[in-house]
Amino acid sequence: VNLLTRNMSGMAGPVASIIERKLTDMLKPSHLQIINESYMHSVPKNSETHFKVVVVSESFTDKKPLARHRLVNDVLKEELSSGVHALSINAFTPEQWDKGRQVDKSPNCMGGF
Shortest separation between residue 14's beta carbon and another protein, angstroms: 19
109 binds another protein (CB under 8 A): yes
Nearest to 38 by CA among 90, 91, 104, 87: 87
Q: Which is nearer to another protein, 4 or 40 (CB)?
A: 40
CB 65 within 8 A of CB 91: yes
Measured in degrees and rounded to the nearest 5, phi and psi for residue 82 equal: -115, -105
Residues numbered 55-74 forming contacts with another protein, rule: CB under 8 A: 65-66, 69-70, 73
44 binds another protein (CB under 8 A): no
28 binds another protein (CB under 8 A): no
Shortest separation between residue 22's beta carbon and another protein, angstroms: 14
Contact residues for 79 (Cβ-Cβ < 8 A; gap 6+)? 15, 18, 19, 22
